[in-house]
Amino acid sequence: MSEGFTLSVYPWVYLARFTESGAWREEFQEKPHKRADEEERLSSDELGSLLAKRNSFPEMPLVNYTTQYGFGCFEGLKAFPQPDGGLKLFRPDQNGGRFARSMEGLRMPVFPEASFVKATIGLVRRNLDLGFAPKYDPGWEKDDFEAGHSVYLRPFTYSEPAIGLGLSHNPWVAMVATPVGSYFRPGNSKAITTDKVRAVPGGTGWIKCNANYVTPILAKKKAEAEGYMEAVFLDAGEKRYLEEGSSCNIFVYLRSNRLVTPDLGDTILPGITRDSVLAIAKDLGIPVEERRLSIEEAMSEGKEVFVTGTAAGIQSMESLTHRDKTAIYSRDGKPGEVSRLLQHALKGIQYGALPDTHHWLREV
């Protein structure tokens, strides 16, 4: 399996549609497939043709509010292989709750959290029964599961046929599952601030909204072209305070031995990995603060900087460049002590190597 995201959609998908009667009509669909081991032996052309059929949803219209204006929202969550051969979802209730809040923020009918959790479990279970899921590898433990694989779930909304400015009253909720590996490429973990603005007060920054990701994509690709791994956004008003990475929340471990992350407002996405890291840090006795954090403080007082997200997990930054100055956090490119502790704890819980004392995992 290739590293990072891949559009190798698993055979079972999930669809729900909000009907005129005011209820959600749900169904699982089994797309064309062969046995998992047979698909591994297909040529790239044969596999591409098969995957294209699995990524086809003819019931969904091409012209609508989602395709024309980015009017929609999505989620991302993972199911992790366990030592006993099973899979467990990480905090699907939190993703379901955020999905509901995003839909409410976009003034569309809300997909219930309980239905979300049930659908994610059912989707992973059906694909697992067909043999489409990674298996636990004890070798992953050597680097705190940095090379670990998992199942990535992408639930998203899609509007009814429409053109012109309007609200979605009868949306679809679709869910697909794919294999996923490490999000960031190894060998470069340098970050640079961007002059672009991810979100403004009073906007949709707190919603996991499709349109919110256009600017981060542009900023990240520009940063990559300049030799960096990540772009870091500052606030829209003063261009002084840290907000987020391109698709991740950001943390700074200060020389005062306190872990700081920007406090939530309507410009910052309430990350589930962010929340988990804060809880784990408290478990480990690390003082945490949620507050405004200036770029000057991060560069002069920071000992470690890392970003968090479902795809990224915890990814350390070896340096942070702002205008003509660069702060170095790691001379060898390796994570700092606190970053390693948090990564070890988070991944250990997710992959079943450490006790799940917070009851975050859900059996598939």
291 lies in the same domain as 226: yes
Whether residue 143 is contained in a domain is answered as: yes
pLDDT digits (tens, 9 = 90+) for 156-208: 999 999 999 999 999 999 999 999 987 666 678 999 999 999 999 999 999 99
Record the tokens describing residue 355, joined without a space: 């006790």
211 lies in the same domain as 164: no
pLDDT digits (tens, 9 = 90+) for 6-52: 889 999 999 999 999 999 999 999 999 999 999 999 999 999 999 99
121 lies in the same domain as 197: no
Of the candidates 166, 159, 338, 148, the residue with the CA atom closest to the CA atom of residue 258? 338
Q: Give CA angle at 357 (352, 359), nearest 5°.
A: 80
Judged against a pLDDT cut of 60, whether residue 2 lies above it is answered with no
139 lies in the same domain as 229: no
Whether residue 157 is contained in a domain is answered as: yes
Whether residue 69 is contained in a domain is answered as: yes
Contact, 348 vs 79, CB < 8 A? no
Mean pLDDT of 345-354: 97
Which one-letter amino acid corresponds to residue 360?
W
Question: Domains in the chain: how many in total?
Answer: 2
User: Residue 343: which CATH number?
Assistant: 3.20.10.10
CA distances from 88 to 57, 92, 112, 273 (A): 28, 10, 21, 16
258 lies in the same domain as 286: yes
Record the tokens describing residue 255, joined without a space: 């020389």
CA distances from 63 to 159, 161, 177, 202 (A): 9, 6, 25, 28
The DSSP secondary-structure symbol of 140 reads: G
User: Residue 73: which CATH number?
Assistant: 3.30.470.10
Alpha carbon 12 to chain centroid distance?
21
* Domain termination residue (choose one: 149, 180, 211): 180
Of the candidates 201, 241, 194, the residue with the CA atom closest to the CA atom of residue 215? 194
Whether residue 3 is contained in a domain is answered as: no
Contact, 353 vs 361, CB < 8 A? no
173 lies in the same domain as 30: yes
Region of residue 203 (left: phi > 0; alpha: psi -120 to 50; beta: else):
beta
219 lies in the same domain as 272: yes
214 lies in the same domain as 130: no
Whether residue 5 is contained in a domain is answered as: no
**Is 278 strand, coil or helix?**
helix
**Is 48 strand, coil or helix?**
helix
- φ, ψ of residue 358 to 5 degrees: the values are -95, 0
pLDDT digits (tens, 9 = 90+) for 275-292: 999 999 999 999 999 999
Of the candidates 278, 338, 339, the residue with the CA atom closest to the CA atom of residue 146? 339
Whether residue 357 is contained in a domain is answered as: no
* Domain termination residue (choose one: 180, 208, 238): 180
153 lies in the same domain as 209: no
pLDDT band at 146, cuts 50/70/90?
Answer: confident
- Give the C-alpha separation, 120 to 49, whole Å: 26
Whether residue 359 is contained in a domain is answered as: no
**Is 46 strand, coil or helix?**
helix
pLDDT band at 76, cuts 50/70/90?
Answer: very high
Of the candidates 35, 133, 50, 33, the residue with the CA atom closest to the CA atom of residue 89? 133
- Give the C-alpha separation, 89 to 328, whole Å: 36
261 lies in the same domain as 304: yes
176 lies in the same domain as 195: no
Whether residue 356 is contained in a domain is answered as: no
Mean pLDDT of 114-140: 97
Buried b (16+ CB within 10 A) or exposed e, 103-133: bebbebbbbebebbbebbbbbbbbbbeeebb
| Full-model pTM | 0.95
- Give the C-alpha separation, 328 to 320, whole Å: 7
The residue range of the domain holding 210 is 190-350
Comparing 54-58, 106-110, 150-154, 332-336, the range with the smallest average pLDDT is: 332-336
* Domain termination residue (choose one: 128, 158, 180): 180
pLDDT digits (tens, 9 = 90+) for 42-57: 999 999 999 999 999 9
197 lies in the same domain as 162: no
**Is 28 strand, coil or helix?**
strand
